Every structure is written in structure tokens, then in C-alpha cells.
């Protein structure tokens, strides 16, 4: 009997369908050599759902996601939706899906491939060996806080965290740190924001349960600077929703391309797996998007499902393909033996993963 998983696929907009198709190709290749099988169901979210249902998150997508073992997601958004009222915007679909799945912890590993140190905008000696993990709170903070309003001449949002919300994300970060180098940098703005003062207080309390983990605190402005100055000082970065959003994009440039950063969002019954980048409308439909972040997200999904061997196959295949010198267009200048399309990169990884 093979392990069978029900996967909800949400391809989304822009490059979303292109990159999710490649991840599925790799998953199917893995299924052919490991004792696993996948049953996929596709759901609409984002701009494509607005086009069909006038709703960025149809009820069918929520129930489909909740009734699966995991959700693999591409990206949503596009300029044609920018003028819609905020409730109809594609991004609102994603925010609501995260909330519906109760995936309050977003895990974003940023690990540099030895073959791609040159692709970073930072010096090789600064980035070689970077291996950090951003643990970002995902369903609270200023992105969800009420009240929120835009009037003609004034607009406001609310940055709010409860003790329990901070506790549960801190616990995820401490547990992750225990599997790694046992160091946490908690990023806040406690010199200015009350919400950050509570954040810091709760994280310090939690640290008492993890005496082996070294805990340090850093203001977000300093953290942005330190990420560029010396990213190797970080092991686990624990932070809130908006700070994590911004810092993990900065971390992507350390790694060389935003097309290389995967993420998992966990905490509820069903996990959500997605690249950290957006729908890249500027390159959509050209076959040049890098599918690696999405394929790595599929590997994180397999790991969380307990399919460690299958996940290792994918991670090793990505390393091997890069070692062989295959590069997508975003990495074309960096030691490329051959520049390949989105589809070709997916096929190469699928092939190497089954060797």
C-alpha cells in the first residue's frame, strides 16, 4: 500500500500556473520511485477567481483546502486588479485563506547554494555558508488588525498582538532553533511600539523553557542592516507579520534570486506551501520564471507529511542540477553552462530526483 496524499493545488495568477505545473511534474516523478501517490484537486484563488466568481477566495477553495492533506500554491495578483476595492483584491484571498487554515507560522528558509554565491548582490565571503530561517507570524499583526480604514484624507491600520498569538509563534521558533544552531534573534521595534514591548516580554518568558537556545533581540531597522552586513550571524529570526514580510524579501537577495526561496505556513490542520515571491506579471507567460522556489516548497510539504526520503530526493536534485550549470533566466549570468526555460528546469529536477 502506498501513502496517498490529497493535495489542493492553487495555481493562481501570473507565473503561478507555470511554476506549480513544474512542482507537480517533480512530485509525480518522485511518486514513480517512492511508495507515494498524489491525488490533486485544483482550486481558484486570487485574480483568476475574481474573473470567474467576482470573489478572490470562493467558498469551494476554502473547503477544498481544508479537506486536503496539504495545499500547494503558486502566486496571485496582477496590475489589472490593482484598482479593485480591497475586499476584491487577489491578496485578500490569500490573507483570508491563511486565516481559514489557521496557519499562523510562516517558515522561510534562506540557504545559499554554493554554486550560486556569485548570484548574490553581496560579496561572496559575506554570503558563503548563509543558512538562516525566518519564522514569521502570519495571521495577526498589522495586516489583520482592526480597526482599519481609509477615508478621503486619513487612513489607519492597527498593529495588534495578543499574548497567546506571540506565545504560539515563539514556540514554533524555539522548536525550530532546537533542530538547528540553537540561536534566535527576535526582531521587533520595542523602542517605539507598545505591541513590540509585549512581543519581547512574551519571547523572554518562553525562552525560560528552552535554556539551551541563545536568545537575542534586535530592532527591525538594525536587523535590516545586519542582514546585509553579516547574514551569517543569524540562525532563526523570529518576527511579526509585516517585519517578516520585508526581511524575508531582503534575505532572498542574499541568496541570489527571489525565485529560490520557498516557504511553509503551518499551525493548523493543513499546511500551505508556496514560494515567497509574487505572480511576477512582468515575466508571466514567457516561460522564463524560476520554478525552484515552488519545487522547494513541495519538498517542505513532503517533509511535513513525513516523506523525508522523497523530500531529500528533491533537495538533492536541485543541488545537482545547479551543480551541472543549468540556470533559469534570473540566474543566467552566474556560471551558467546552459540557460533553460521554466519547463526545462522542472524536467531536469524531475529527472535528477528519480536517479
Q: Which residues bind ligand NAD (CB under 6 A)?
A: 15, 75-78, 91, 94, 258-259, 274, 277-283, 289-290, 293, 330
Q: Tabulate helix, strand, coil % of the chain (nearest 5).
A: 50, 20, 30
Burial class (CB in 10 A: 0-12, 13-18, 19+), 73: buried
Task: Name which of 350, 328, 277, 259 is nearest 26 in CA terms.
Answer: 350
State the number of CA atoms in the 13 A half-sphere of 189 facing the CB.
13
How far apart are CB 249 and ligand NAD at their closest, in Å? 8
State the number of CA atoms in the 13 A half-sphere of 292 facing the CB.
31
> Which of 21, 181, 249, 335 is flagged as catalytic?
249
Decide if 138 contacts 274 (C-beta within 8 A).
no
Q: Which residue is associated with the grid cell 484571498? A: 93
Comparison of 218 and 262: residue with beta carbon closer to ligand NAD: 262
How far apart are CB 60 and ligand NAD at their closest, in Å? 19
Decide if 277 contacts 259 (C-beta within 8 A).
yes
Q: Catalytic: 245?
A: yes
**Which grid coordinates are listed for 107?**
517558515
Comparison of 206 and 256: residue with beta carbon closer to ligand NAD: 256
How far apart are CB 41 and ligand NAD at their closest, in Å? 20
Bond preceding residue 147 cis, omega within 30 of 0: yes
Q: Catalytic: 210?
A: no
Contacts 24+ apart (CB under 8 A), 152-156: none
> Which of 99, 161, 189, 273 is flagged as catalytic?
189
Comparison of 106 and 117: residue with beta carbon closer to ligand NAD: 106
Comparison of 19 and 311: residue with beta carbon closer to ligand NAD: 19
How far apart are CB 287 and ligand NAD at their closest, in Å? 11
> Which of 188, 235, 245, 330 is flagged as catalytic?
245
Decide if 311 contacts 302 (C-beta within 8 A).
yes
Q: Catalytic: 28?
A: no
Helix (H) or strand (E) holding 297: helix 292-304
Comparison of 94 and 236: residue with beta carbon closer to ligand NAD: 94
Decide if 345 contacts 292 (C-beta within 8 A).
yes
- What is the C-alpha to C-alpha distance for residues 6 and 63, in angstroms, rounded to an integer? 13
> Which of 5, 43, 81, 143 is flagged as catalytic?
143
How far apart are CB 317 and ligand NAD at their closest, in Å? 18
How far apart are CB 39 and ligand NAD at their closest, in Å? 24
> Which of 60, 221, 269, 337 is flagged as catalytic?
221
Q: Catalytic: 13?
A: no
Comparison of 15 and 36: residue with beta carbon closer to ligand NAD: 15
Decide if 216 contacts 185 (C-beta within 8 A).
yes
Q: Catalytic: 221?
A: yes
Please give the positions annotated as active site. Answer: 143, 189, 221, 245, 249
Amino acid at each position: 500500500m502506498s501513502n496517498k496524499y490529497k493535495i489542493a493545488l492553487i495555481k493562481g495568477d501570473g507565473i503561478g500556473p507555470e511554476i506549480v505545473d513544474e512542482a507537480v511534474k517533480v512530485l509525480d516523478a518522485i511518486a514513480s520511485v517512492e511508495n507515494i501517490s498524489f491525488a490533486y484537486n485544483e482550486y481558484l484563488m486570487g485574480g483568476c477567481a475574481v474573473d470567474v466568481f467576482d470573489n478572490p477566495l470562493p467558498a469551494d477553495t476554502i473547503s477544498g483546502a481544508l479537506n486536503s492533506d496539504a495545499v500547494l500554491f503558486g502566486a496571485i495578483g496582477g496590475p489589472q486588479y490593482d484598482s479593485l476595492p480591497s475586499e476584491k483584491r487577489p491578496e485578500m484571498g490569500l490573507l483570508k485563506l491563511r486565516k481559514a487554515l489557521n496557519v499562523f507560522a510562516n517558515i522561510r528558509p534562506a540557504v545559499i547554494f554554493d554554486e550560486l554565491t556569485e548570484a548574490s548582490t553581496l560579496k561572496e565571503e559575506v554570503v558563503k555558508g548563509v543558512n538562516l530561517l525566518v519564522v514569521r507570524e502570519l495571521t495577526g499583526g498589522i495586516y489583520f488588525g482592526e480597526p482599519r480604514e481609509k477615508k478621503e484624507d486619513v487612513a489607519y491600520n492597527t498593529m495588534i498582538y495578543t499574548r497567546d498569538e506571540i506565545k504560539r509563534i515563539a514556540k514554533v521558533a524555539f522548536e525550530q532553533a532546537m533542530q538547528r544552531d540553537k540561536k534566535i534573534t527576535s526582531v521587533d521595534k520595542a523602542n517605539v511600539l507598545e505591541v513590540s514591548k509585549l512581543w519581547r516580554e512574551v519571547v523572554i518568558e518562553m525562552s525560560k523553557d528552552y535554556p539551551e537556545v541563545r536568545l537575542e533581540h534586535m530592532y527591525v531597522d538594525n536587523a535590516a542592516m545586519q542582514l546585509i552586513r553579516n547574514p551569517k550571524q543569524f540562525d532563526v529570526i523570529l518576527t511579526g507579520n509585516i517585519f517578516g514580510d520585508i526581511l524575508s524579501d531582503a534575505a532572498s537577495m542574499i541568496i541570489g534570486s527571489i525565485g529560490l526561496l520557498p516557504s511553509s505556513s503551518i499551525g493548523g490542520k493543513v499546511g500551505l506551501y508556496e514560494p515567497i515571491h509574487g505572480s511576477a506579471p512582468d515575466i508571466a507567460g514567457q516561460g522564463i520564471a524560476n520554478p525552484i522556489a515552488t519545487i522547494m516548497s513541495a519538498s517542505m510539504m513532503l517533509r511535513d507529511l513525513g516523506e523525508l526520503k522523497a523530500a531529500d530526493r528533491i533537495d538533492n536534485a536541485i543541488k545537482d542540477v545547479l551543480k551541472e550549470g543549468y540556470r533559469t533566466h534570473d540566474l543566467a549570468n552566474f556560471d551558467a553552462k546552459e540557460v533553460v526555460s521554466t519547463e526545462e528546469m522542472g524536467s531536469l529536477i524531475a529527472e535528477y530526483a528519480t536517479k
